[in-house]
Every structure is written in structure tokens, then in C-alpha cells.
Chains A and B, each alone.
Chain A
Amino acid sequence: NAGVTQTPKFQVLKTGQSMTLQCAQDMNHNSMYWYRQDPGMGLRLIYYSASEGTTDKGEVPNGYNVSRLNKREFSLRLESAAPSQTSVYFCASSGGPGQPQHFGDGTRLSIL
């Protein structure tokens, strides 16, 4: 019953360093998503992948890139980390449009 697995769970970076957050799902879902959660702001969509081979920008894509490596995996990359990217990052997946999203437990990222 793994569901959506995110690695790492915690990470501290220095400004300017790069980092890739990994996400994998074992539910054979078509769609995958990356969100960031900041206090008092709910979840904001960074990027999503409606199906394998496609990616699209969400609400706050600047400073991030994504790769849909295969149907299972969707990674998020910070090329040059900035303190404003300190946040909790959640990956989610769903079977398709309208179907509820299933979330991982998050990656807590601090950038000094």
C-alpha cells in the first residue's frame, strides 16, 4: 500500500544549490502533480503532468523544472535554490480529470 512516495522527506540547501525531489506512484495513475504548501496559503500548483509525456505549468512554476520520467515517476528540480523556495512540497497523482488526487507525505525543504 505504498501509494505516492516522495524522497527525501527533509532537506536543507544553501542558496544557489540544485536539488531534485523525487516522486513515484504505484497506482497506475495517468496524472501527476507538484504543489508547494506555505502557511496560510494552502496548496499552490507548481507543475502537472496530465499523462505520460506531457507537462504543463501551474500557478507558480518560476524557478522549477519537472520531468515525467515514465508513468510512475515525476520529479521536480530546483536549478538554483532561493530562500523563497523554502516550503513543504507535495506530490500527488490521480487517475485522470475529475478523479481525486492522492498525496505523498511531503518533502520539507529549507534553503538558507
Chain B
Amino acid sequence: GEDVEQSLFLSVREGDSSVINCTYTDSSSTYLYWYKQEPGAGLQLLTYIFSNMDMKQDQRLTVLLNKKDKHLSLRIADTQTGDSAIYFCAHLNTGGFKTIFGAGTRLFVKA
């Protein structure tokens, strides 16, 4: 199967850390992605990780990959109101051309 599961909503206070979780079923995924979608816009790539990595850090973003459990997480440090958006977890399928997306997690940041 190629399913990607995410929780639909997350609410945090400004300044706190946000952790968005994702599980997937395709154990042969090579690339895993996090995209951000702001209202009225398309998806914007935030970061991605290769399946042979455990962690990737990029400024306020930390991606953790547990390949054994097929679990991917995105941590946003010092969350700001501008981080309010929908975050999509995605992975590249074994054929290499199709990216499978989760349903997205809507992040609410309270001031």
C-alpha cells in the first residue's frame, strides 16, 4: 500500500514547538517530503529527507525519520503565527514518478 496518515489538526501557542507526525506504509520509499500550504496558494516544499538518513535540520525545522516504524515527524521550533498553514507529508513511491500525499495537518498558532 501507499497510504500516508497524518492527524488533521494541531494547535500550539506562539513561541512553543510544534511537532507534526506522519506514518506511511511503503517501506521502499526513497524520498520523504514536507510541504506547506498557505490559504489560497499551492504547496511549497519545506524540506525533504532521504530514506538513509535519520534526521535533518534546517534552521527552525527538524525532520526525524524512523524507518523501522515508518514514522516521519516535522518539528518547528519557536512557532510563529506565520507558520499557521496546512502541512503535508509525502513520499515518493517505488516507481519513482508518483508522490503520495497525506491529507494534511492544519496547524493553528495562537498568539
- The residues of A with any CB-CB pair to B shorter than 8 Å are 4, 31, 33, 35, 40-43, 45, 48, 50, 56, 58, 90, 92, 97-98, 100-106
Q: Contact between B8 and A100 (Cβ–Cβ < 8 Å)?
A: no
B88: interface (CB < 8 Å): yes
Q: From residue B58, how far is it (CB to closest CB) to chain A in Å?
A: 13
Given contacts A4-B42, A42-B104, contact A101 B98 (CB under 8 A): no
Q: Contact between B99 and A97 (Cβ–Cβ < 8 Å)?
A: no
Q: From residue B81, how far is it (CB to closest CB) to chain A in Å?
A: 22
User: What chain B residues lie within 8 Å of A100 (beta carbons)?
Assistant: 33, 45, 48
Q: From residue A80, how far is it (CB to closest CB) to chain B in Å?
A: 27
User: What chain B residues lie within 8 Å of A42 (beta carbons)?
Assistant: 4, 88, 101-104
- The residues of B with any CB-CB pair to A shorter than 8 Å are 4, 8, 30-31, 33, 35, 40-45, 48, 88, 92, 96-99, 101-104
Q: Contact between A98 and B101 (Cβ–Cβ < 8 Å)?
A: no
Q: Contact between B103 and A40 (Cβ–Cβ < 8 Å)?
A: yes
Q: A38 CA to B36 CA in the complex, in Å?
A: 16
Q: From residue B43, how far is it (CB to closest CB) to chain A in Å?
A: 5
User: What chain A residues lie within 8 Å of B42 (beta carbons)?
Assistant: 4, 90, 92, 103-106
Given contacts A40-B8, A43-B88, contact A97 B43 (CB under 8 A): no
Which of B44, B48, B101 has the most chain A CB within a 10 Å cutoff? B101
User: What chain B residues lie within 8 Å of A50 (beta carbons)?
Assistant: 97
10 A-B pairs with the lowest CB-CB distances in the bound complex, closest first: A103-B42, A97-B96, A42-B103, A43-B101, A42-B101, A103-B43, A100-B45, A105-B42, A98-B31, A50-B97
User: What chain B residues lie within 8 Å of A92 (beta carbons)?
Assistant: 42-43
Q: Contact between A101 and B99 (Cβ–Cβ < 8 Å)?
A: yes
Partner of A98, one of B8, B35, B96, B103: B96
User: What chain A residues lie within 8 Å of B45 (beta carbons)?
Assistant: 100-102
- B88 (CB) vs chain A CBs: closest residue: A42
Q: Contact between A48 and B98 (Cβ–Cβ < 8 Å)?
A: yes
User: What chain B residues lie within 8 Å of A40 (beta carbons)?
Assistant: 8, 103
